[in-house]
Amino acid sequence: MFRCTVSLWDSDEPVPRAELLKGVEGAHGLLCLLSDRIDAEVLDAAGPNLKVISTMSVGFDHLAIDEIKKREIRVGYTPDVLTDATAELTVALLLATARRLPEGIQEVKSGGWSSWKPLWLCGYGLSGSTVGVIGLGRIGLAVARRLKPFGVKRLLYSGRQPKPQAQEVDGEYVPLDSLLCESDFVVVSCALSPETQGLCDKAFFTKMKTTAVFINTSRGAVVNQEDLYEALTAGQIAAAGLDVTTPEPLPTDHPLLALKNCVVLPHIGSATYSTRGIMAKLTANNLLAGLTGEAMPSELKL
Amino acid sequence: VLVVTITNLLWIHTFLSLCSSLFFLRVQFELWDSDDPIPRQELLKKVKGCDGLLCVLTEKIDAEVLNAAGPNLKVLSTMSVGFDHLSLGELKKRGIRVGYTPEVLTDAVAELTIALLLATSRRLIEATHEAKTGGWGTWRTLWLCGYELADSTVGIFGLGRIGVAIAERLKPFKVKKFIYTDVAPRPELAAAIQAEYVSMDELARQSDFLAVCCALTPETQGICNKNLFSKMKNTSIFINTSRGGVVNQEDLYEALSTGQIAGAGLDVTVPEPLPTNHPLFTLKNCVILPHIASASYTTRNAMSALAANNLLAGLRGEPMPKELQL
């Protein structure tokens, strides 16, 4: 039992930059969200006391890792505890997009529903399909496990190297181009890095099937949104579902929001009561361990 | 010369192959060539003297239609697995054979049921609305939180092909337990998904997610009512993709608006379409789809081919691929 002085930004709105820079002065520890960019400026403002940063996320693209490493600051994050909720949301988004749920609901509310018709609102089913997962990490694998019993015929994945755990889902390691040409569903599940920034661009979408469904629940910056818009309106791909965008929030007049075949969710991948509770606890415990110089439950290797 | 009446437009190549088969048999056929259902008067007129009738679920095939058709009618083929729109007693009495489309639509229906379940439990429709209308700020810890399948109990009301398929698909979401209720235990089906047989009351009490998968019969009419909802958890999610008539919609509205249950997803209603001013539409926690459970291109194609083949077999006096035992 030890005593901390805690400075809390007590609002649902993110802390303004100026407030953050002031608030971190002399801090030993910093607990943040993915909407807080922790770069050299923040670290300098904090000063030499800062020994631990604990983020309530598994993604760490908002943290300037090199700067943090240089200053020997430890980092805690929340892998694993949010895998189930995020994989579940990814599948929810895939199904909602492929089976045209938002369109259906819109028709119902606006009087477009007259009677049962054989070809109305038909979508693409998973049964007999080929699914391609880009980045078969914890979340990608969890998504693949959940899709399998829907009758997926082939599970392809791409990444820097093959993964032994892919065997569990009969995953086939293929070059990205093959994945794009052969997949009926493309799910992006990789981390955002300089290599994956803008990965999903015009060339990417051109290689996909015109009946394919594209899903991104990783990070918005992996996708070139202008090229995606182009691909969707030109019929290069059938539909897209996004839980992440650039920026977040996406402005309400953004062209992607007007497309019937584009489903946009406001970054709710891990949004379940139980998961957020567990994430919060883990984030706090990571922070406390960092402050007392102990082993963290989930430390990010820098 | 056989005469066949087809009440709706089929998928194009099935239709063409049906036509050529019918032509080969020297069959005359009458096609209602529209996506909209055939008006009752037209149907009564066109069935006169026909040997076969291929219909969809919007046509009520009762004594009136069968009388209008007359004694030639030997086969009725419906492009659906549900047969609550057919007067089975009347059909049996007249010795008319019935074809339907089980199994070919099981995957699509199970898939849509799960899509609907997840859209409801994870609040997808609220979320897409917020994204479009400016309610989306930055990432917030408790905003739009939903209920997770992991560690939950899933209850199936009516364990048939579709119920089993739903459970199989939910398993990797780390569901803790599957339970089901039915008129009697279904040991073989239950074994496939390791589901425990319970009473309706227990199903209501224990389920975090309750999916209704039973047929509509006089026994199941309105069975999902106040009695069921009042026993359910206030964090539970109710999903119906069976038939609208199984649910008492007033009681459901009551349960949703008073917080007796957390949310509901419906693919079927009474009536269909549901009028746009229906109270259920005012509820954020009620998701309503326009009966699209089997609406995938491949499935509708398979259904129409099967319906066509059932019809042809009936006309030829042969075994049908899928005949309904009357």
- pLDDT tens digit string along B247-306? 999 999 999 999 999 999 999 999 999 999 999 999 999 999 999 999 999 999 999 999
B234 neighbors B260 (Cβ within 8 angstroms): yes
Tell the burial category of B18 from Cβ atoms under 10 Å away from its Cβ (0-12, 13-18, 19+).
buried
Q: How confident is the model at residue B1 (pLDDT cuts 50, 70, 90)?
A: very low
Domains A17-79+272-292 and A83-264 in one fold: yes
Neighbours of B191 (CB within 10 A): 10
For helices A273-291 and A83-98, angle between their N-to-C axes, nearest 10 degrees: 140
DSSP secondary structure, B102-113, as one string: -STTHHHHHHHH
Q: Is the peptide bond before A79 cis (omega within 30 degrees of 0)?
A: no
Task: Output the CA angle A288-A294-A296, nearest 5 degrees.
Answer: 65
Rounded average pLDDT over B22-51: 86
Average pLDDT over residues B56-82: 95
B125 contacts on A by Cβ (under 8 Å): 101-102, 105
Kindly state whether B103 is in contact with chain A, defined as any CB-CB distance less than 8 angstroms: no
Q: Is B127 part of the contact surface with chain A (CB cutoff 8 Å)? A: yes
Query: How is residue B220 written in tokens?
Result: 């199941």
Across chain B, mean pLDDT equals 93
What residues in B contact A56, CB-CB < 8 Å?
141
Contact A123 B295 (CB under 8 A): yes
Question: What is the interface pTM, i.e. ipTM, of the complex?
Answer: 0.92
CATH of the domain spanning A83-264 = 3.40.50.720
Which residues are CB-contacts of B37 (< 8 A; sequence separation ≥ 6)? A115, A116, B7, B8, B56, B58, B59
Closest partner residue to B272 (CB to CB) among A116, A268, A280 is A116
C-alpha distance from B126 to closest chain A C-alpha (Å): 9
Among A116, A169, A273, most B C-beta atoms within 10 A, so best to mutate, is A116
Domain edges within chain A: 17-79+272-292, 83-264
pLDDT band at B214 (very low <50, low <70, confident <90, very high): very high
In whole angstroms, give the CA distance from residue A143 to residue A239.
19
Q: From the list A35, A125, A268, which residue is nearest B144 (CB)?
A: A268
Q: Do A268 and B127 touch (CB under 8 A)?
A: yes
* Catalytic residue numbers of A, as ranges: 267
The helix/strand/coil state of B284 is coil
Question: How many Cβ atoms are within 10 Å of B142's Cβ, its own excluded?
Answer: 11
pLDDT digits (tens, 9 = 90+) for A161-181: 999 999 999 999 999 999 999
Confidence band of B14 (pLDDT split at 50, 70, 90): low
Residues of chain A falling short of pLDDT 50: none
Residue B137: predicted pLDDT: 87
Chain B hits for A119, CB-CB cut-off 8 Å, are: 9, 11, 35, 300
From the list A113, A248, A275, which residue is nearest B290 (CB)? Answer: A113
CA distance linking residue B175 with residue B148, whole number of Å = 9
At the second CATH level, the architecture of B106-288 is: 3-Layer(aba) Sandwich (3.40)
Pairing of strands A239-242, A262-264: parallel
Q: Give the pLDDT confidence of B87-138 residue by residue, as tens digits.
A: 999 999 999 999 999 999 999 999 999 999 999 999 999 999 999 999 998 8
Every domain of chain B and the residues it spans = 3-102+297-324, 106-288
Q: Do B139 and A34 touch (CB under 8 A)?
A: yes
Pick among 3.10.450.350, 3.40.50.720, 1.10.150.130, 3.20.20.100: CATH of A17-79+272-292: 3.40.50.720
The span from the CA of A178 to the CA of A80, in Å, is: 29
Does the beta-carbon distance from A268 to B125 stay under 8 Å? Answer: no
Q: Name B36's Cβ contacts closer than 8 Å, sequence gap at least 6.
A: A114, A115, A117
**Residue % of chain B over a pLDDT of 70:** 94
Task: Give the pLDDT band (50/70/90) at residue B177.
Answer: very high
pLDDT, residue B33, reads: 84
* pLDDT score, position B13: 54
What share of chain B in percent tops pLDDT 90? 87
Indicate the residue type of B34.
Answer: S
Whether the CA torsion A156, A160, A162, A167 is positive or negative: it is negative
Question: What gap in Å lies between CA A165 and CA A152, rounded to an integer?
Answer: 18
Asked, colleague to colleague, whether B3-102+297-324 and B106-288 share their fold, the answer is yes
CATH number for region B3-102+297-324:
3.40.50.720
pLDDT confidence bin for B47, thresholds 50/70/90? very high
Q: Determine the pLDDT at residue B20.
A: 72
